[in-house]
Amino acid sequence: MTDSVTYFDYKWGMTMKLKVLSLAVAILATSAVNAKEQKEGVYLGVFGDYYKAKWQQMRDVPGVNVDDSMSWGAELGYRFNDYWSARLEYADMDFDLSGSRTGSLSGDRFGVDGLYHFDGGPFYALFGLKSIDAFTSNTFANVGAGYRHDLTDNLFVNAETALYQGLDRGYTDVGAKLGINYAFGATASKPVKAAPAPAPISKPEPKPVVQAPKDADKDGIIDAEDRCANTPMTDAVDASGCTLYKDEEVTVSLLVRFPNNNSAVSQQYLRDIDAVVKFLNEFPETTVRLEGHTSSVGKAKYNKWLSQKRADAVAKQLIEEGIDASRVSAIGYGEERLKNAANTEEAHAQNRRVEAKLISVKRVKVKR
């Protein structure tokens, strides 16, 4: 009785762990968009595995059927380019037994897979060969499909399912797998955004003081011709003694950087976005054009879409702050307008951005 309860608790616990991991992967897959700027090189991962077997009347052990297995495993892979990768896999399996004998059976699975990543994106197909040792050694060919989601530049999760066809015996099985992986290599450093230099304010040359019989407000215009008495001493005046104004161009710039494979606006740029909101509120006739960009890594068509999504994300922030949508436009240029054409991590980081420059004119007093 004790062994039976322990085995049930173990299987229940393994099932719950896989369900939790499935839910985590589903949430992550709906929370962000995978871009195609993938790293080449080695990756290492661990996974949970459900294998649905139906091996009836084992000839080596008569009257015994081998059923489903829950297992954990590890894999070592290499990403060759945007489209192809390969991996070695090991899984420690635990099969249910039925028939004339009940209980469980430990097994091992070794194998190799080739992976093709569609359009360099998150979905992939897989094919390979596996050897499963349980009672005897059986060889299987497998094909399947999967989904990969990047958490950071180096960390990603994957979910996949596969069909297994026995080559030694005519078994046809299916399996599902959830894993987390780490890709080795340096991550792109985020450049520090330099504060824009303040626009220089030109000061007009002070007008010479005109000697007059009487000039009560000391503005250089005699009282007999002064139409604006008591103008402030700091203001320049026109020929009638009134405060002189000029049109002055004012600008504000916006630069929002994005991590690799991401279109979410980081909290660090909210203050810069607030400055744009303040500028638009101060000058209600002004509009803003947000221009999205990506690096040159990956497919141009996909990068075009990703750059538009980045520009739309910044536009959404402005609209949520109260700016009318008719005053905000967003366009994605993809990799057409690179800031840095070098093929380095630093250059790619500089190119993943949304930019905008707003210009308006305000009427300001001319100082003496």
3-state secondary structure of 349: helix
d(C-alpha 283, C-alpha 263), whole Å: 29
User: What pLDDT is attached to residue 100?
Assistant: 60
- 362: amino acid identity, one letter: K
User: What is the CB-side half-sphere exposure of residue 314 using CA atoms within 13 A?
Assistant: 35
pTM above 0.75?
Answer: no
Top pLDDT among 103 and 2 is at: 103
> Pairing state of beta strands 155-166 and 172-183?
antiparallel
Q: Which of 328, 50, 39, 263 is nearest to 177 (CA)?
A: 50
pLDDT tens-place string over residues 350-366:
999 999 999 988 888 88
Q: Which of 89, 101, 6 is nearest to 47 (CA)?
A: 89
Which 8-state DSSP code applies to residue 11? H
Top pLDDT among 8 and 65 is at: 65
Over residues 136-151, mean pLDDT: 92
| Residue 199 binned pLDDT confidence (cut-offs 50, 70, 90) | confident
59: which residues sit within 8 A by CB, 6+ positions away?
A: none
Domains contained in the chain, CATH given: 36-183 (2.40.160.20), 245-365 (3.30.1330.60)
pLDDT tens-place string over residues 223-255:
777 778 778 878 888 877 788 888 888 899 999
Quote helix, strand, coil % in the chain, to nearest 5.
20, 40, 35
| Residue 11 binned pLDDT confidence (cut-offs 50, 70, 90) | low
d(C-alpha 22, C-alpha 32), whole Å: 16
User: What pLDDT is attached to residue 35?
Assistant: 44
Sign for the CA dihedral angle at 146, 152, 154, 155 comes to negative
Element (H, E) at 105: strand 103-117
Q: Which of 350, 307, 352 is nearest to 331 (CA)?
A: 307
| Count of C-beta atoms within a 10 Å radius of residue 77 | 18
